[in-house]
Amino acid sequence: MSTPVDRYAVAGNPVAHSRSPAIHAAFAQQTGEVLSYERLLCPLDAFEATVRDFAAAGGRGCNVTVPFKFEAFRLARQRTPRAQRAGAVNVLRFDADGWFGDNTDGAGLVADLQHNAHRPLAGLRVLLIGAGGASSGVLGSLIAARPAEIHILNRSADKALALVGSHQVHADEHGVRLRSGGLDQTDGRYDVVINGTSSSLSGAGVPLPDPDRLVLATGGVAVDMMYGPAAAGFLNWAAAQGGPTACLRDGLGMLVEQAVESFMIWRGVRPDSAPVLAQLRRQVEAAC
């Protein structure tokens, strides 16, 4: 009689485009872990029921993507401090004594910048554009990397101010200055500019009202949390701002690195992200 294989999934809507199954299959092969990983399409009004059915059928955990990260937060009985600060969960582990929830998005972003791109954030000025779920998911980890300052801008300045308020104690503990404002309130040049809005999905590219205004310092770092062609508009703008020595990152490295964190939570093993990221980059470029 064969031993049941541990099952994992990415839960979301839509989910057909997700590259997470390929990433985790590569991690499993690399580490010798025996598991399966699938896509779990959840009706918009039945996320909880769908995930509970998956867990009851032998599922051990799942990644959670849009639009269910806030609902996943509510379902987790135990939450990490970074999930608490974000108010959102992107990875669930189905423990017998209550589901465990974490948010690995910020850890993925910081790992991609500091380890893959070799750009430490300590002491730098960071501009984070957007104050929605993507930005709230990464802000805690950005603070832990100890930049000198993080300036959060959003179409609704009140929402940016609220995000600062929810992370102020964490920022004070790490000696990081947090500021907020509207999209037109850029202040000088920044060492790092991160697009945490959905502007790339609509083809807008640059989420600032005056895209010709110099924002990114020469040789600075620019990140769009989207990846592939969707990120091209923002990164092309950043290249013109930061010059030939600018470091341009789309969200592919962040995707792989947050998956590393998820795999570690589930299996207690940390896979090597480098070969998986390189393979995924080749696949994305070939599809363009």
* Spatial contact of 111 and 179, defined as CB atoms under 8 Å apart: no
Find out whether 227 is annotated in a ligand binding site.
yes
Find out whether 98 is annotated in a ligand binding site.
no
Find out whether 134 is annotated in a ligand binding site.
yes
In 3D space, the residue among 146, 151, 102 whose CA is nearest the CA of residue 120 turns out to be 146
List CB contacts of 230: < 8 A, sequence separation 6 or more.
200, 201, 224
Say how far apart CA 28 and CA 161 lie, in whole Å: 41
In 3D space, the residue among 265, 239, 268 whose CA is nearest the CA of residue 108 turns out to be 265
Say how far apart CA 21 and CA 129 lie, in whole Å: 29
Catalytic residue among 7, 24, 60, 69: 69
Say how far apart CA 69 and CA 88 lie, in whole Å: 5
Find out whether 190 is annotated in a ligand binding site.
no
Find out whether 103 is annotated in a ligand binding site.
no
Find out whether 90 is annotated in a ligand binding site.
yes
Active site residue 69: yes
Characterize the bridge pairing of strands 59-64 and 91-93: antiparallel
Find out whether 172 is annotated in a ligand binding site.
no
Find out whether 18 is annotated in a ligand binding site.
yes
Find out whether 225 is annotated in a ligand binding site.
yes
Say how far apart CA 261 and CA 167 lie, in whole Å: 22
Find out whether 131 is annotated in a ligand binding site.
yes
Amino acid at 111: A
State whether residue 11 is helix, strand or coil.
strand
Q: Which helix (H) or strand (E) holds 70?
A: helix 69-75
Find out whether 105 is annotated in a ligand binding site.
yes
Binding-site positions for NADP(+) read 130-134, 225, 251
Binding-site positions for shikimate read 18-20, 65, 90, 105, 227, 258
Binding-site positions read 18-20, 65, 90, 105, 130-134, 225, 227, 251, 258
Catalytic residues: 69
